[in-house]
Structure 1
Amino acid sequence: MNRMEFDVIVVGGGHAGCEAALASARLGKKTAMFTMYLDNIAMMSCNPSIGGPGKSHLVAEIDVLGGEIGRHTDRYNLQLKHLNTSKGPAARITRGQADKYWYRVKMKEIIENTPGLEVIQETIDEIITEDGHVTGVISSLGIEYKAKSVVLATGTFLKAKVVIGDVVYPAGRQGEGSAEELSESLLKNGIDLERYQTATPPRIDKRTVDFSKLKEMHGEENPNFFSLFTKKEKNRTVPTWLTHTTEKTIDVARELLHFSPIVTGVIKTHGPRHCPSLDRKVLNFPDKKDHQIFLEMESMESNELYVNGLTTAMPPFAQEKMMRTIAGLENAEIMRYGYAVEYDYAPAYQLYPSLENKKVRNLYFAGQINGTSGYEEAATQGFMAGVNAARKVDKKDPVIIDRSEAYIGVLIDDIIHKKTPEPYRVLPSRAEYRLTLRFDNAFMRLLDKSREIGIISEDKIEYLENCIKNIDLEVQRLKQESVPLSKANELLEKKGEKQRVVKGVTVSDILKFKNVSYEDLAYITDIQEFPDFVKNQIETIIKYEVFIDRERSQIEKFKKLESLKIPEDFDFSEIKGVSNIARHGMEEVQPISIGEATRISGVTGHDIALLIAHIERMKKDQ
């Protein structure tokens, strides 16, 4: 192969592009990653935070499969926190504030030193196709690069426009260009495109903030890391600071609202619902005055503070005037003004669960081009697209993770089947099996998939296998071993439990009490020195056994529907009696199983019954 021919080409150097390129190269494929600007590989354009509800799960899951984002955040962060510790295990998560500078610089270093991975600074203008298959790309310099698979991870750069007040200019983010030609090439190949918008707040000079008026919050020295493989004696605890908008802030925002590009109509597209701009907050929640504002450092190497909660694309003078009304920011100097970006994306109903396009084979889509929002969502799609693009080269079946196995499955299944009016963000509320899909048990859920993918080393796979074996054996032992009543009640009294046991109990019965931990069991039985994450699993499995078993039975029903396959090239127009909206949805998505068909917007139980009956008739006729 020469320099113009690759197994896999990845277009884009953001979080989706990095994971896709690394996955492909680590699977032994000759890979090229194209980016518009080499120095901005893995750039965190918005808040440099990783994790949070749902997002933590994605990071932990792809870490177990061989992704980079988790361990990279563990290495290059300003702080990490374990959140929701007082809530149930399904809600407990980690959130980190990455060091924007070191995260980017060190990710570029990893990519440049990965065998089989070439990085090229070029803008891609066109995909090359033959007989419905992608065969390569053409750059803005007119150079043709051949590939067996292509992953598009273009972020917010397709026909992108930056908006600040009434100022609009082509750019994928402030200070960078827009990819103006690739959209036309996709349209010519029958791929539908729509437009979304995202926005970011101003950055201010740390030296001009009055911190005496702010509440300071620190990370943890010994947090729950994103990666099980992270070994760190202690983590940084760089602070963030909390302040609030005031009644004056809202009055100023309302007074200047007619300058907002949302109100003037300069911005017509929808942005992420879960991090609305301040102008949207004033429009949607007119009575609320005290919106939280978090000041978060972007890097140890910079004085820039990210003003989390003050997202806006209003004109500079409006941003300045609103800032002056917030405690601690009365004299703050803006280093970068907030802005919005409008961009093309390709709705994900055009993809298979492998993230391969249905119209152009061997072409994969990942990240914001699929209509999603967030670094974690992008990295997850990039990783899965990179794995499946590499497997396609080897003529292997794709790795598909369903929604009962991981938040990865929830994310991919949702974006293909459920249309949202704004960029999609993963949330715990979107997952039906939250107790099964915990942040802390990704290694138990996905070890078989990790082995199938083949990126994680054999010694790490073996280590996790032994951990799972120890968990299973210890859970069974605790269920079988009896405890004398007197000893059990002594422990319950020591732990402040009001209830007492009055008949024969096992060790596991005692562990089910709220205040009793696995380590407390040393008072009544011999316990082993397992790693903390193993102890945590033993405790959670026993304490929540009834609820976990209930979810397991629901998952079994889900799996049965997933196993009912729809014949390839099935003609959905021939099903008699289904509603027009159901027929249109099924024709658009082309589901491959009955389970998948049930999750298409507008498809009812009656429609599913008619679909199954039609397939059964077809089988009899054949």
Structure 2
Amino acid sequence: MNTDYDVIVVGAGHAGVEAALASARLGMKTALFTIFIDNIAMMSCNPSIGGPGKSHLVSELGMLGGEMARHIDSYNLQLKNLNHTKGLAARITRAQADKYWYRIKMREIIEKQENLEVVQGIVSDLILDGKKVTGVKDQVGIEYGAKAVILCTGTFLKGRFIIGDVKYEAGRQGEQSSEELSDRLREYGFEVDRYQTATPPRIDKRTINFSEIEELKGEENPRYFSYYTLKEENSVMPTWLTYTTPETIRVASELLKYSPIVTGIVSSKGPRHCPSLDRKVLRFPEKTDHQIFLEQESTESNEIYINGFTTAMPPFAQDAMLKTIKGLENAKIMRYGYAVEYDYIPANQLKLTLETKVLENLYTAGTINGTSGYEEAAVQGFMASVNAVRKIKGQSPVIIDRSEGYTGVLIDDIINKDTPEPYRVLPSRAEYRLTLRQDNVFLRLLDKAREIGILDKEKLEELENAKKEIEKELERLRNITVYPTKENNEILISLGHDTMNNPVSAFEFLARKEMTYDGLARFIETEKLSKIVKEQVEINSKYKIFIDREKNQIEKFKKLEEMIIPKDTDYEKIKGISNIAISGLVYSQPETIGQASRISGITHNDMTLLIAFIKEKNK
């Protein structure tokens, strides 16, 4: 058996899948290790992809050459475009995945991928040459060599399954945990901590009273995540909406004494943005009408995921609470909700490439870095793999900064900011939300995609031509004048729009709130443009002032962000800087002023003194 590889990926969840595919597609001989081969790309919790911030991550991943965007476009039950009334930056896509087909077809892609081998086994140790990782050892003692190792271990490091007062070793219900690897990581100098996550019960669709709940269908023609997707229409399988009741809260309050959160069986922190029903009742006892979404898991199953009903309370408590919800009075639970506690490595021990500072050639991605979510995991796996391959090839790393993508915001945040709970990407975490939209991913990341080299040349050329077409059409519109003629004003009145008094460029005319590019054809000669080109032309016209303002902010940001901190900087020699700042800078070893500014405890005064010190040093 050949046991030597260029890249070894440990874990075949969403981070591991993207890492393994990226490495193999970049020509590296790659091994993907998984505890159970049938559960590659398993959706352990909610079988959905997208949402605020997350949809941007998936589209960015697709643009860079990752698989998730194309895959969810193909294997979903419904897609929805959300937040259209909340402004341009808030528009998102959310997919309800077909949990069964997503997993089955992803395994098929993995197994057909050239340069990629799958190995079922538990990695128990790393092989080291001093402070360099040179491979891994599995639980039965087989050693595998590698030039780089990427850990994508999810919730499996010392995973503990919890329901009520029952607690046992498991990374997921029915699957064994990895018990030795995190001990070895501690021995090698890593700080290791624990987090917790939970999932709701699943119920039998045939036991739901659908006449009592609201049906919510998907869209036939949604915005897709991938630029490869060409569908005439999408599946519109519905989800359903119901609510908790005052009786739910009363029953839950009476049974809280059995909650593992209350009893102390669960002691670690869970995701704040996806709280359990137990925590909702504890924190907001006065609120009784919590939303409950019922989401089918697959066309191949009658299992319904109860979104909003996350809990690890004992089975009898879950049954009692469920029967108080409208439409679910007779619902039958097929799988009870539960929690999982697991070890993770705080991400301040990583470089921006996702290589660890503790051991060379070791990369970590996904839940092991203290993040939550399939989308966050996938982009980390992809970026870790790309940078591992580039290091092997002697190429410079690919770093996406905060002004270029949510991927950059995510990686920069987890490394440079304290995350007291599993990190979830959110629009509020991005300083430049108007620039980092889902609709303009191809414009933002075209150069990065070309540099990485996974996206095929035909698609790159197509998107490059679209970019040129946008620029050409914007320039053309700026040089065309629309006059306030009687005929033009009559057209505006017939459309229910305000009339015009002064001549304006077609570019300015398109900026009118009610005007579309297709509507311009009533006033000037227009071009035959693709859908994505039309969209960008309209957006650039209507939001020019705001986009230009943000561009100026980004330019200022980049001057600060890109100021390099010399590696030999002795922070204790900076007069006036606080001890907290010195401690944070020495521990984090930031590469740039931008990174340093986001370290917890560093003040504006500390930054001013640091910048002055570096400028003086550079003289």
> TM-score range with shorter-chain normalisation?
over 0.9
2:128 matched residue in structure 1: 129
Could you tell me how far apart the structure 2 residues matched to 1:389 and 1:407 are?
Answer: 21
Contact 1:495 1:515 in 2 (8 A): no
Matched letter for residue 397 of structure 1: S
- How far residue 618 of structure 1 moved from its aligned partner, in angstroms, is 3.3
Question: Matched residues in 2 for 1:139 and 1:164: separation?
Answer: 30
Q: Does 1:425 align with 2:420?
A: no
Q: State the alpha-carbon separation in 2 of the partners of residues 613 and 512 from structure 1.
A: 44
Match of 1:581 in 2: 580
What's the Cα RMSD here? 1.1
Once the 2 structures are TM-superposed, how far is the Cα of residue 501 of structure 1 from its aligned partner?
1.9
Alpha-carbon distance in structure 2 between the residues aligned to 1:128 and 1:56: 37
Label 1:616 to 1:506 Cα distance change in 2 as closer, same or farther (>3 A): closer
For residues 260-286 of structure 1, the C-alpha deviation after alignment (integer angstroms, 9 at most, x for no partner) is 011111111111111100010001111
Q: Name the counterpart of 2:493.
A: 493
Note the 1:93-108 alignment, pairs <5 A.
93-108=92-107
Other-structure match for 1:340: 339
Match of 2:304 in 1: 305
Q: Aligned equivalents of 2:579 and 2:482: distance in 1?
A: 63
Q: Does 1:352 align with 2:371?
A: no
- Distance in 2 (CA, whole Å) between partners of 1:44 and 1:561 is 40
Whole-angstrom distance in 1 between the partners of 2:573 and 2:174: 52
1:251 matched residue in structure 2: 250
What SS does structure 2 have at the residue aligned with 1:256?
A: helix
> Are the aligned partners of 2:561 and 2:592 in contact in 1 as well (CA < 8 Å)?
yes
Structure 1 unaligned segments of length 5 or more: list them.
none
Q: SS state of the match for residue 257, structure 2?
A: helix
Q: CA deviation at 1:107?
A: 0.2
Q: Which moved more, 1:610-619 or 1:395-404?
A: 610-619
* Alignment-derived partner of residue 474 in structure 1: 473
> How far apart are residue 333 of structure 1 and its match?
0.6
Instruction: For residues 73-94 of structure 1, give each alpha carbon's deviation from its aligned partner in whole angstroms, at most 9, with x where no partner exists.
Output: 0000000011112232111111
CA distance in 1, matches of 2:297, 2:559: 47
- The residue type equivalent to 1:345 in the other structure is Y
Which residue of the partner structure matches residue 229 of structure 1?
Answer: 228
CA contact (8 A) 1:19 1:382 kept: yes
Q: Is the 8 A contact 1:496 1:515 kept in 2?
A: no
**What is the distance in 1 between the residues matched to 2:600 and 2:286?**
34
Taking every aligned residue pair, what percent have the same amino acid on both sides?
63
What's the CA shift string for 1:387-438, capped at 9, x where partnerless?
Answer: 1111111011110000000000000010011112110000001001001000
Kept in 2, the 8 Å contact 1:488–1:510? The answer is no
Return the alpha-carbon distance in structure 2 between the equivalents of residues 559 and 375 of structure 1.
30
Q: Residues of 2 paired with 1:507 and 1:51: CA distance?
A: 36
C-alpha contact 1:61 1:446 (8 A) present in aligned 2 = yes
Cα deviation, residue 608, structure 1: 1.2
Q: Aligned partners of 2:62 and 2:220: how far apart in 1?
A: 21
- The alignment status of 1:209 with 2:208, answered yes or no, reads yes
For 1:293, give the aligned amino acid.
I
**Counterpart residue number, 1:387:** 386
Match of 1:442 in 2: 441
Could you tell me whether the CA contact under 8 Å between 2:49 and 2:55 is conserved in 1?
yes
Contact 1:573 1:587 in 2 (8 A): no
CA distance in 1 between partners of 2:362 and 2:568 (Å) = 19
Distance 1:478 1:385 in 2: 43
Q: Note if 1:508 corresponds to 2:507.
A: yes
CA contact (8 A) 1:35 1:121 kept: yes
SS at match of 2:439: helix
Change (3 A) 1:457 1:283: same
Q: Report SS of the residue matched to 2:7.
A: strand
1:79/1:238 contact within 8 Å kept: yes
| Matching of residue 179 in structure 1 with residue 178 in structure 2 | yes
8 Å contact 2:347–2:414 — kept in the other structure? Answer: yes
Read off the aligned partner of 1:596 and give its amino acid letter: Q
Shift of residue 599 of structure 1?
Answer: 1.3
- CA offsets, 1:496-516, max 9 Å, x none? 23x332111111122111111
Deviations 1:313-368 (CA, angstroms, capped at 9, x unpaired):
00000000000000111111100000000000001111111111011111111000
Query: Structure 1 residues 176, 523: CA separation in 2 closer, same or farther (over 3 Å shift)?
Result: same
Deviations 1:1-60, CA, capped at 9 Å, x for gaps? x72111000000000000000000000000000000000000000011000110000000
Partner of residue 484, structure 1: 483
* CA gap 1:490/1:9 in 2 versus in 1, 3 angstroms: farther
Q: How do 1:62-73 and structure 2 match up within 5 A? A: 62-73=61-72
Instruction: Determine helix, strand or coil for the equivalent of 1:314.
Output: coil
**d(CA) in 2 for partners of 1:95, 1:275:** 16
1:45 matched residue in structure 2: 44
Is the partner of 1:585 in helix, strand or coil?
helix
**1:282-312 CA distances to partner (integer Å, 9 max, x unpaired)?**
0111110000000000000001000000000
Counterpart Cα distance in 2 of 1:572 and 1:181: 38
Alignment check: 8 A CA contact 2:483 2:502 kept: no
Residues 1:114 and 2:139 are matched in the alignment: no
Distance in 1 (alpha carbons) for counterparts of 2:532 and 2:84: 15
Q: Distance in 2 between matches of 1:422 and 1:495?
A: 52
Encode CA deviations 1:453-472: one digit per residue, 9 max, x unaligned. Answer: 00001111110000000001
Aligned residue in 1 for 2:403: 404
C-alpha deviation, 1:617, in angstroms: 3.9
More displaced, 100-109 or 602-611? Answer: 602-611
C-alpha separation between the residues in 1 aligned to 2:571 and 2:44?
Answer: 42
**Residues 1:520 and 1:263: Cα distance change in structure 2 (over 3 Å):** same
| Distance across 2 between alignment mates of 1:488 and 1:21 | 58
Distance 1:619 1:469, change over 3 A: closer
SS in 1 for 2:89: coil
Matched letter for residue 95 of structure 1? R
Alpha-carbon distance, 1:612 to partner: 2.2
Match of 1:191 in 2: 190
The more displaced of 500-509 and 367-376 is: 500-509
Quote the residue 1:158 is aligned against.
Answer: 157
Paired AA for residue 489 in structure 1:
N
| Counterpart code for 2:185 | L
Residue in 1 that maps onto 2:10 = 11
Structure 1 range deviating more: 609-618 or 79-88:
609-618
SS of 1:485's equivalent in the other structure is: coil
Q: What is the letter of the counterpart of residue 116 of structure 1?
A: N
| Matches for 1:9-88 after TM superposition, within 5 Å | 9-88=8-87
- Corresponding residue for residue 147 of structure 1: 146
Number of residue pairs aligned between Structure 1 and Structure 2: 618
Structure 1 residue 534 displacement after superposition: 1.5
Aligned amino acid, residue 410 of structure 2:
L
Aligned twin of 1:331: 330
Q: Give the Cα–Cα distance (whole angstroms) in 1 for the partners of residues 328 and 410 of structure 2.
A: 38
Specify the SS of the correspondent of 1:173. coil
Matched residue, 1:539: 538
Instruction: Give how far 1:569 is off.
Output: 4.1
Deviation at 1:491, TM superposition (A): 4.1
Aligned residue type for 2:246: E
Is contact 1:56–1:93 with CA below 8 Å preserved after alignment? yes
Question: Structure 1 residues 509 and 122, CA, compared in 2 at 3 Å: closer, same or farther?
Answer: same
Aligned mates of 2:184, 2:495 — CA distance in 1: 66
2:239 pairs with 1:240: yes
Task: Give the 3-state SS of the residue equivalent to 1:6 in structure 2.
Answer: coil
Partners of 1:210 and 1:242 lie apart in 2 by: 12
Q: What is the rounded CA distance, in whole Å, between the counterparts of 2:270 and 2:532 in structure 1? A: 38
| C-alpha displacement of 1:532 | 1.3
The TM-score, its normalising length taken from structure 2, stands at 0.98
Amino acid at match of 2:471: D
Q: Secondary structure at the match of 2:220?
A: coil
Q: CA deviation at 1:478?
A: 1.2
